[in-house]
Amino acid sequence: MSKKFWISIALASVMIVTAACGAKTESETNASTNAPNTGGEAEKSYTVAISQIVEHPSLDATREGFIAALKDAGLEEGKNLTIDFNNAQGDATNIKTISQKIGNGKSDLALGIATPTAQALADDVKDIPVLFAAVTDPIDAGIVTQLEAPGGNITGASDTNPAAITQTMDFIASQFPNTKNVGLIINEGEQNAVVMGKIAEEALAKHDIKLIKASVANSSDVKQAADSLVGRVDAIYITLDNMVVTGADAIIEVANANKIPFFSADRDTVEKGAFAAVGFKYYDHGYEVGQMAVEILKNGKNPGEMNVTVPQKLDFIFNMKAAAEQGITVTDEMKAFVKDPANNIIE
């Protein structure tokens, strides 16, 4: 992970509240797009273009939260808002075609959900504001050069706080003390997965635990990769790797059949059948970015002056049924890691 990102994470953590809900300046309050309709002038309508790398629960929840924030601020589809949703279906050619289409179009704002789509929008969309969500390291990915007031026409929210990965690896080491090897199923062509994998590897190394990678080139490879780890690892972990998360059902099948604890980096995969993660709700993540969009569209804020945000409300999330399937005895000591058991221990 880039050194700039590590430094910026600390700064951004302090400035989250300011970025998300800072007080409006006089010029923002008087912005023309937010002025009262006193002269019979038609209400302003907006078009927001969304480029999403693939459809899966975390990314879909991000999009839903984003649109909900717009609606709560009075921007509603079918009334004064048009959503131009584009699903790249995990294809690099589609990603580029979509970003070029948006760049040549007439949208008022563009949103890239996931690192590759955000990178493409950053390259091809220069004349309108651009936001990103579900991006692990926007600095290393070349989307922005800093998290605080990144400049240009782009800002957004990272979906990774490195502490979440470290906490997961530390939990494995402390609560599964016989663990010698952890398997990582990874698409090494996805930058966010590589960054997160490196953090996990470094965290495990401090406990003398080895990370064993099983690489995939597409989602159909996930089952074979999971099978290849059986007998070689004591636990399986996946990052916020869009291709791998799409194939999470296959990992759950292998983990359950072979009694291998399965850890993920997102809540949605735990709800599906992974045992545990340190994470947050992607709907809330998307909602936060939607609030940024409202500030830009209605209040005239400059995205380059808005801080990139990172997740703050991290918690352990357990799936108790998955624990039983994977041969895990969930102790009281384990449960004590969960700050909000009512919402984050899934029975």
Whether residue 222 is predicted with pLDDT greater than 60 in this model: the reply is yes
CA angle at 112 for the pair 108 and 115, rounded to the nearest 5°:
155
Mean pLDDT over residues 107-121, rounded? 97
pLDDT of residue 1: 55
Whether residue 33 is predicted with pLDDT greater than 70 in this model: the reply is no
Per the prediction, the chain carries an average pLDDT of: 89
Is-contact 165 6, C-beta < 8 A? no
- Comparing 326 with 1, the larger pLDDT belongs to 326
| Interstrand relation of 315-319 and 276-279 (parallel, antiparallel or unpaired) | antiparallel
Whether residue 62 is predicted with pLDDT greater than 80 in this model: the reply is yes
Distance CA 281, CA 64 (A): 12
DSSP codes, 294-342: HHHHHH---GGGSPPB-----EEEEEHHHHHHTT----HHHHTT-S-HH
Q: Is the pTM of this model over 0.85?
A: no
pLDDT of residue 214: 98
Residue 140 binned pLDDT confidence (cut-offs 50, 70, 90): confident
CA angle at 266 for the pair 260 and 268, rounded to the nearest 5°:
90
Residue 280 binned pLDDT confidence (cut-offs 50, 70, 90): confident
Distance CA 256, CA 248 (A): 12
Q: How large a percentage of the chain has pLDDT more than 70?
A: 88
Percent helix / strand / coil, the chain, rounded to 5: 45, 15, 35
pLDDT of residue 161: 81
The token duo for 334 is 């384990």
pLDDT digits (tens, 9 = 90+) for 285-325: 999 999 999 999 999 999 999 999 988 789 999 999 999 99
Lowest mean pLDDT among 25-29, 158-162, 295-299: 25-29
Whether residue 39 is predicted with pLDDT greater than 60 in this model: the reply is no
Whether residue 335 is predicted with pLDDT greater than 50 in this model: the reply is yes
pLDDT of residue 41: 46
Residue 208 binned pLDDT confidence (cut-offs 50, 70, 90): very high
Residue 2 binned pLDDT confidence (cut-offs 50, 70, 90): low
Among 134, 97, 86, 75, residue whose Cα is nearest residue 296: 75
pLDDT of residue 281: 86
Whether residue 27 is predicted with pLDDT greater than 60 in this model: the reply is no
Whether residue 3 is predicted with pLDDT greater than 60 in this model: the reply is no
Residue 213, C-beta contacts closer than 8 angstroms, at least 6 positions apart: 183, 184, 185, 186, 188, 197
pLDDT of residue 7: 52
End-to-end CA distance of the chain: 35
